[in-house]
Amino acid sequence: MGGGIAASVVAGATYGLANLMFSYALNAQAKHSMLRSGRDDGKVADKGPRLDAAEEVEAADWFDQSKQPVVISAEDGIQLHGWLFDPDCAGAKPHLYAICCHGYSGQPQDMAKYAHRFARLGFTVLVPALRGHGLSEGRYAGMGWLDRRDLMRWISLIIDSDADARILLQGKSMGAAAVMMTVGEPDLPRNVVAAVEDCGYASVGQQFIDCARSMFHLPKFLAKPIVTTMGAIARRRAGYGFQEASCVEQLKHATIPMLFIHGGADDFVPSRALDENFDACASIDRQKLLIPSAGHSMSASTAPVVYWKTVTNFVTRVFGL
């Protein structure tokens, strides 16, 4: 009898902690939600020198002055908001589009320097606010999994206006996960030509286990059952579980050229995710870049010359610029 009571206490405590973590991490309407911070990835690992600080200031100014609002409906009916930007160069080639996706608890403006780089290459750029973020509706963060279908709606919006569109997908952290999950969709249009992911995780479940250990200092034997329970709560309330929300599994169905980037000093999304995602990717044309000293989402700031040379060469080659 005593053992049964103890088991009930443990189960109750596990559920209580899992429910608390679910509300804190995924419920945008919760009083103490991390999503209310409006800071990309909570800035938990945004450390190190910014060698591109001047570029970030210039890009932020361009973002504010050039943005054009656009709104669509998601498959579940919620309203999604984004910003559209015209090419920022002379003689831009037609039919070039890039979609840039921000990270967890972030905002579209976090993608200003990335969007500006692609606009200067001649792309029309779309920067959506992911569900539960910014102006977009949605009670729960999609962690890339719900966002993959939202991203398909943004892709359709572009194709509906330009049947000859050639589209680049790019994202960082949770936005990178959304991109990787999208490229594995069976109905991905042929208009999507290539993708660039920066510091994306391998799976939602593993990422929450890593966060439970690094942020809440839970031992592995506690973190795993709590996150498993958290995933069951997410399935019931948010409409998806953690088991299927896997970049690794989606990448097994990828066919387009892919560029994978990660920081070697990333202590938020461990750098092992780079190899896990790269190795899982079924694309014949794929490459990876590790910036050894870069923290989470800091690769472009830590080594801007290497970062943008790699990205620009990849995009120029694939799109024939």
The domain spanning residue 133 has which CATH number? 3.40.50.1820
State pLDDT tens for residues 230-284: 999 999 999 999 989 999 999 999 999 999 999 999 999 999 999 999 999 999 9
Q: What are phi and psi of 262, to 5 degrees?
A: -155, 155
Percent of the residues in the chain that have a pLDDT greater than 70, as a whole number: 92
Least confident of 38-42, 197-201, 204-208: 38-42
Residue 9 pLDDT greater than 60, yes or no: no
Asked if 111 and 180 sit in the same domain, the reply is yes
Q: Are residues 115 and 162 in the same domain?
A: yes
pLDDT in tens, 173-195: 999 999 999 999 999 999 999 99
Q: How many domains does the chain have?
A: 2
Please check whether residues 18 and 103 belong to one and the same domain: no
Residue 100 pLDDT greater than 50, yes or no: yes
Weakest mean pLDDT among 71-75, 116-120, 154-158, 207-211: 207-211
Q: What is the mean pLDDT of residues 116-140?
A: 97
Question: For position 12, what pLDDT does the model report?
Answer: 61
Asked if 27 and 7 sit in the same domain, the reply is: yes
Dig out the tokens for 144 from the structure: 């890339």
Predicted TM-score (pTM) of this structure? 0.94
Residue 5 and residue 105 in one domain: no
Residue 185's pLDDT is: 98
Is a pLDDT exceeding 60 seen at residue 211? yes
pLDDT for 179 equals 98
Mean pLDDT, residues 127-134 taken together: 96
| Residues 88 and 141 occupy one common structural domain | yes
Banded pLDDT at 2 (limits 50, 70, 90): very low
Burial grade of 48 (CB within 10 A; 0-12, 13-18, 19 or more): middle
Q: What are phi and psi of 203, to 5 degrees?
A: -155, 155
What is the Cα–Cα distance from 61 to 300, expressed in whole angstroms?
18
Of residues 264, 97, 81, 299, the one with CA closest to residue 195: 97
pLDDT at 3 over 70: no
pLDDT tens digits, 138-168? 999 999 999 999 999 999 999 999 999 999 9
Residue 213: which pLDDT band, with cuts at 50, 70 and 90? confident
- Containing domain of residue 228, as a range? 1-37+219-240
133 and 282 together in one domain = yes
175 and 267, same structural domain? yes
Query: Residue 213: CA atoms inside 13 Å, Cβ hemisphere, count?
Result: 16
Asked if residue 109 and residue 191 are part of one domain, the reply reads yes
Is 56 found in the same domain as 32?
Answer: no
Q: At residue 289, does pLDDT exceed 90?
A: yes
Q: Is residue 209 part of a domain?
A: no
The answer to whether residue 300 sits within a structural domain is yes
* Three-class secondary structure of residue 247 per DSSP: helix
End-to-end CA distance of the chain: 72
Are 45 and 33 in the same domain?
no
* Average model confidence (pLDDT) across the chain: 92
Would 212 be classed as within a structural domain?
Answer: no
pLDDT score recorded for residue 14? 79
